[in-house]
Amino acid sequence: MQGRGSLSARPILIAIIGFGKIAHDQHVPAIRDNASFQLVATVDPGEACLPDVPHFPTIEDLLGSDCEVDAIAICTPPQIRQRIAQTAIMAGKHVLLEKPPCATLAEIAALEQSAQDHAISLFTAWHSRFAAGVAPAKAWLADKQIRSVKIDWREDVRVWHPGQTWIWDAGGFGVFDPGINALSIATEILPRPLLLRRGALQFPANCDAPVSGQIELEDSGGMPVALNLDFLQTGPQTWDIAVETDGGTLILQQGGAVMHTPEGTHHGEDCEYPAIYRHFADAIRQGRCDVDIAPLRLVADAFLRCRFERVEPFYE
């Protein structure tokens, strides 16, 4: 692994590419609280992002500068991630991809092959898998017979994605931008692969990505999974997964942060992004890739197998 020896004795020098809300609110504090990393640059076509960190408009400008960097965290819209990640890999930089990792399955497959060819760590960072209740939920389900799963993922796009017009473009995922978080949890805690059978996706008349969806899945053993997505939820927001088992019902709430079982409730601290960066540091220093496409594959299957319905236009 390139740079492995030197990185074992000093912080990993990392740059963030794409400086929106998630980069500002989650990536920056997680990096700065982790002694394994040092934030050395931001990259975004907009204004300088942090007063004490060098800023560049493009990755080419960063790589052409005298700023030393070992790793890149890519937080741009998914439509442009593949080109940026490939540029970083070819320059010998380790790469963390925010979710969803790319706009297509072919793009992430090409990046994984390139990372392996160049001995680079590539990490698909499914942040919801690191929520406090997810690992305990997986452990609780391990000896249970699972009978059914119901997933309700409903949030207000105007609250959580203001001004993000890219989310409505082809490749922007629409309601699957949050919905893929639910699928990342489900594919982590359920023991068998999930198969998408049928469903319906609602597309606003002026958008190329869905605003809601009702999807039927099952695992490879025939256990049913119902997925309901809504990007226009007002009032209380809902990010819940309910799993019916022979030992009672498990419920994950708040995006996986809280777990309820017949034995009680498990609360944990907000640990998603700190855990992501611990994992990324380990991957770099151990010389390995960590790429999982299962959640993205199910989204791709939804676009292949679901019925498309046109609904009223969306205006922010």
> Among candidates 78, 80, 35, 79, which has minimal Cα distance to 59?
80
Size (the chain), residues: 316
Three-class SS state of 264: strand
21 is catalytic: no
Six token digits for residue 236? 């209380």
Three-class SS state of 305: helix
Question: How many angstroms separate the CA atoms of 296 and 155, rounded?
Answer: 20
**Annotated catalytic residue: which of 93, 99, 138, 150?**
99
DSSP state of 256: G
The answer to whether the CB of 123 falls within 8 A of the CB of 291 is: yes
226: Cα separation from own chain's centroid = 21
What are the backbone angles phi and psi of residue 110, rounded to the nearest 5°? -65, -40
Catalytic residues, which ones? 99
